[in-house]
Amino acid sequence: MVAPNEPAEHWARRSRGVRPTSEGAPSVHIVIMGCGRVGSSLARQLGRAGHSVAVIDREAAAFRRLGADFHGQQVTGMGFDRDVLLEARIMEAHAFAAVSSGDNSNIIAARVAREQFNVETVVARIYDAKRAQVYERLGIPTVATVPWTTDWLLRAIIPEGLISEWRDPSGTVTIVNLPYHRHWIGRPLTELESGVGVHTAFVVRFGRGLLPTYETVVQEGDLIYASVLSKDIHDVADKAAISPVDGL
């Protein structure tokens, strides 16, 4: 476990900045522990989206999964070690994702990031579902080893949850992974579309895609991919984040 933060670290935490990506969306620094299939996929997607990414793994050979086009930081070591985290610029991090192959390492690293470095968004990948419930009660979101792990993690750590999946050649229309308030769960998808101002392209439910109908109801865990005008993307995110009950 790491030692308490020094005053200088508190100052550095307050100075964490958000910069625009090449597409105009907020750009942040994200630290990922674990460079397996999930960690490397997550790092590559975040890097392509214009975010600053540092990947930690105890085996240097694991970084080969990132590919030659990955230009983020690669740090060899244990993801819960203080010096390793500092090298990965944890003091600048908006989010920390612990996605190594070990439950114990993931939860320890997640708690260090949350409790010692006060990282705003922390998520951990947990293989044991029973243990995951315990960690959820500690205030650390967890995700089990399921097919939609990477999508779930992206939604959890990207500012406002907006992930642009496709843009038309003119840049006028984009398809985004739409974040939404939990109170939309159990309501008709058409009601969400009307309230937010989007058209749903498709929904990923339990790792499988489906084309919605007028009878489709938003379910727990649904990933909603919606088409929006690029100029309205931030307005749409704000509307989707509001409870439909509050918006009445």
Q: Which CATH code for domain 162-240? A: 3.30.70.1450
List, as one string, the DSSP characters of 166-225.
EE-TTSSEEEEEE---GGGTTSBHHHHHHHHT-EEEEEEETTEEE---TT-B--TT-EEE
What's the average model confidence in pLDDT over 156-160? 58
- pLDDT at position 147 is 44
CATH classification for the domain delimited by 7-160, as one of 3.10.28.10, 3.40.309.10, 3.40.50.720, 1.10.287.610? 3.40.50.720
* Domain regions of the chain by residue span: 7-160, 162-240
In this predicted structure, the answer to whether residue 198 has a pLDDT above a threshold of 90 is: yes
Cα–Cα distance, 117 to 111 (Å, whole number): 9
- pLDDT at position 144 is 58
- pLDDT at position 75 is 97
pLDDT single digits (tens) 89-139: 999 999 999 999 888 899 899 999 989 999 988 888 887 766 766 666 666
- pLDDT at position 178 is 86
- Among 151-155, 168-172, 183-187, 204-208, whose mean pLDDT is lowest? 151-155
- pLDDT at position 82 is 93
